[in-house]
Amino acid sequence: MKKKIINQELSEFERFVLFEKGTEPPFSGEYENHFEKGIYVCKNCGIPLYNSSDKFHSGCGWPAFDDEIPGAIFKQIDRDGIRTEIVCAYCGVHLGHVFYGEGFTKKNVRHCVNSVSLKFIPEGQKPPIDRMFCAGGCFWGVEHLFKQLHGVVDTRVGYMGGRWPNPTYEQVCTGLTGHLETVEVIFNPNLIDEEQLIKYFFEIHDFTQEDGQGPDIGEQYKSAIFYTNERQKEIAEKIIEELKKRYKVATQLRKASTFWVAEDYHQDYYEKTGKAPYCHYRRKIF
């Protein structure tokens, strides 16, 4: 994952931790004993990473969480070959490490995170950006249409919901991995809200088709919304119930999981090729 500085106001030490995999001294961080209600976002890109409800005091000297916001954290083997490093799943910067089996909480997991990798957003305030994941057939067309929506600041295509780690396009196309072709939608919640995004998603694909989209038939082409928080889930449930009064809805509603970014040639496919989607277009239904 190619990392770039998004927050130009990062200090030299913050850049050291985030981009050089440094570590702040124990018991020195701003958030070690911080337990206000809200969310913690990435200091570099602003994507929500952790809920305050999952934070606990471990006594280890760094902020500790026993869970992450779905789809927000990517885990990989540390360069020491022993520990598991955790990075922001969107911008790739270093957050800390995750440990298992220590018995601090019932989940038996500890995300040990540097305070300087985080920024706290109090309850009731919106983060600078947020994300949701939508699967609606070939991800080329879904991405192309989302990119045209005001308030969407970035998109990536990839695979979500399956059993195999780091799948290739060829593996996903077999239908055996369980993954769906999925678009990560990064949006500015001050410009567009989740209800607008979800309604738009239903208008740009055939949510009544159970086996794929148009001529694209297969497990990987099924319709789904992968939610990252309870607000997204509740709004999606409400809209689906509204649609069921008039349509047979095949769209699945699932909790987000690891998002495996697809190969480079799939990203921004229609912009690169100059072609147009063959089975995706917007039709007003709300």
Pairing assessment for the beta strands 118-122 and 223-227 based on DSSP bridges:
unpaired
Residue with tokens 């939608």: 185
Assign 3-state DSSP to the chain and report helix, strand, coil percentages, each to 5.
20, 30, 50
What residues are paired with 227 via a beta bridge?
255
CA pair distance 216, 18, nearest whole angstrom? 41
Specify the DSSP class assigned to residue 115. G
Contact call for residues 143 and 200 (beta carbons, < 8 A): no
Using alpha carbons, select from 30, 66, 27 the residue that is nearest to residue 50: 66
For residue 240, the tally of other CB atoms under 10 A from its CB is: 18
For residue 99, the tally of other CB atoms under 10 A from its CB is: 17
Residue with tokens 């780091």: 166
Contact call for residues 216 and 190 (beta carbons, < 8 A): no
The reply to whether 138 belongs to the active site is yes
CA pair distance 222, 210, nearest whole angstrom? 7
What residues are paired with 260 via a beta bridge?
159
Please identify which of the residues 60, 138, 173, 279 carries the catalytic annotation.
138
**Hey, which bits of 43-163 come out as E strands?**
48-51, 55-56, 64-65, 73-77, 84-88, 94-100, 109-113, 118-122, 130-136, 152-160
Amino acid at 163: R
Query: What residues are labeled active site?
Result: 138
